[in-house]
């Protein structure tokens, strides 16, 4: 395998990690990934034998160091996280531990292995939190007003990345991904949950009532396959230490997204608001300004939102 670039993905078996692994394999990378014994492997089942998987937990700094100093990756994509906002209300400490201390463990392992890979870290639009109407579309320079323990954990990871660049000159690129979705999205996320409910109703396995949360929020959605293309461009073309929004610059209301999903189906449904699906504090609007990232990399989102939603619904139709 001489000459092949080595890419390490933390969180390779997750929603985004699995799509990124497919992309990197198609581009000829030697792809390594961190998993745990408890990690569900469904998303990477079909490509598992082309990957080099290592048993490593972000909380176990010793395993991180041992494996990283052996692999000596050229690129690291740091995706492993407690990734779900609602879980962060229930388990704030675990969220902070995995997302902040886990990232510190990873950076230390890389530093102590005396290697110099380009490291992309998956920061989040949730960091902007409360955004005022005159701040939209949101630039990287916008104040961060995080509204959940998850968002706070991502702010801390983001700045830890900056600090490791600043203190040790590590080549860390910070990407603030806005919402991203598509096949394999967990059913705890609104759009995927709606698609799954529609698929269940189509099969007669759920009464024709869609349970919803806040339908008024507006979100800027990118297809996950466009997002992972952006992550690869980030390590190839972006400036170390710098931060980049990745988003389309267009937003859709959650209620309109539900209507779009329903337009692909013949079922007739009513909706019911479910208090448990509302957040203690929610962000009304998130639309990003991607001009900095686009100018640096030439990236453009390619998959229309309609296709993303159709693929997501078909993903669930094949699974329920």
Q: In angstroms, what is the minimal distance from the CB of 219 to ligand A2R?
A: 13
Interaction residues for ligand A2R, span 176-205 (CB under 6 A): 177, 186
Site for ligand A2R in 24-63 (CB under 6 A): 34, 36, 38-40, 57-59
Count of residues that bind ligand A2R according to CB under 6 A = 25
Q: Which two tokens stand for residue 49?
A: 């034998």
Name 156's Cβ contacts closer than 8 Å, sequence gap at least 6. 96, 99, 100
Q: Return the C-alpha torsion angle 59, 60, 65, 67, nearest 10.
A: -100
Residue among 185 and 218 whose Cβ is closer to ligand A2R: 185
Q: How far is the CB of 320 from ligand A2R (least distance, A)?
A: 19
Query: What are residue 119's phi and psi, to 5 degrees?
Result: -115, 120
Q: Which of 21, 81, 118, 294 binds ligand A2R (CB under 6 A)?
A: 81
CA 50 vs CA 28, 31, 162, 302: distances in Å: 11, 8, 33, 27
Q: What 3-state DSSP class applies to 211?
A: strand
Provide the minimum distance between the beta carbon of 178 and ligand A2R in the complex, in angstroms, as a whole number.
10
Among 122, 217, 243, 312, binds ligand A2R (CB under 6 A): 122
Residue 273's beta-bridge partner residues? 212
Closer of 262 and 311 to ligand A2R (Cβ): 311
Shortest Cβ 156–ligand A2R spacing (Å):
12
Q: Would you say 220 and 249 are in contact if contact means Cβ atoms under 8 Å apart?
A: yes
CB of 39 to ligand A2R, least distance (A): 3
Residue 60 vs 74, nearer CB to ligand A2R: 60
Which residues within the stretch 232-261 sit at the binding site for ligand A2R (CB under 6 A)? none
- Residues numbered 86 to 115 that lie near ligand A2R (CB under 6 A) are 98, 102
Among 7, 14, 212, 223, binds ligand A2R (CB under 6 A): 14
Torsion over CA of 201, 202, 203 and 204, rounded to 10 degrees? 50
Site stretch for ligand A2R (CB under 6 A), options 76-84, 112-120, 248-256, 285-293: 76-84
Write the binding mask 137 to 176 for ligand A2R: x where contact by CB under 6 A, - elsewhere.
Answer: ----------------------------------------
Contact between 70 and 113 under an 8 Å Cβ cutoff? The reply is no
Establish if 80 lies at the interface with ligand A2R (CB under 6 A).
yes
CA–CA dist 260, 247 (Å, integer)? 20
Strands (E), the chain: 6-10, 30-35, 52-55, 75-78, 118-124, 171-177, 180-181, 209-212, 218-219, 222-223, 243-246, 252-253, 270-273, 285-286
CB nearer to ligand A2R: pick between 78 and 262: 78
How many angstroms separate the CA atoms of 260 and 11, rounded? 31
> What residue ranges bind ligand A2R (CB under 6 A)?
11, 13-17, 34, 36, 38-40, 57-59, 79-83, 98, 102, 122, 124, 177, 186
């Amino acid at each position: 395998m001489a000459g092949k670039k080595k890419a390490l993905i933390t969180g390779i078996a997750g929603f985004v990690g699995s799509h990124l692994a497919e992309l990197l394999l198609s581009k000829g990378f030697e792809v390594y990934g961190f998993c745990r014994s408890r990690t569900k492997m469904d998303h990477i089942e079909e490509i598992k034998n082309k990957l080099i998987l290592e048993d490593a937990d972000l909380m176990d700094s010793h395993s991180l160091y041992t494996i990283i100093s052996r692999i000596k990756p050229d690129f690291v994509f740091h995706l492993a996280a407690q990734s779900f906002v609602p879980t962060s209300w229930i388990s704030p400490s675990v969220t902070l531990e995995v997302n902040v201390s886990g990232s510190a463990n990873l950076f230390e392992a890389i530093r102590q292995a005396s290697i110099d890979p380009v490291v992309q870290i998956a920061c989040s639009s949730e960091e902007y939190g409360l955004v005022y109407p005159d701040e939209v579309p949101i630039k990287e320079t916008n104040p961060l007003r995080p509204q959940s323990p998850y968002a706070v954990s991502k702010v801390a990871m983001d700045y830890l990345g900056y600090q490791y660049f600043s203190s040790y000159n590590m080549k860390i690129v910070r990407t603030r991904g806005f919402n991203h979705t598509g096949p394999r999205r967990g059913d705890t996320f609104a759009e995927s949950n709606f698609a799954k409910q529609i698929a269940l109703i189509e099969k007669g396995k759920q009464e024709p009532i869609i349970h919803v949360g806040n339908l008024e929020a507006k979100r800027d959605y990118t297809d996950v396959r466009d997002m992972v293309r952006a992550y690869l461009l980030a390590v190839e073309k972006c400036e170390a230490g710098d931060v980049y929004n990745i988003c389309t610059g267009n937003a859709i209301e959650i209620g309109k997204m539900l209507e779009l999903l329903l337009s692909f189906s013949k079922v007739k449904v009513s909706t019911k608001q479910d208090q448990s699906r509302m957040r203690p504090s929610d962000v009304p609007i998130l639309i990003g300004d991607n001009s900095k990232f686009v100018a640096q990399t030439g990236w453009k989102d390619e998959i229309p939102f309609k296709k993303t939603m159709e693929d997501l619904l078909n993903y669930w139709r094949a699974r329920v």
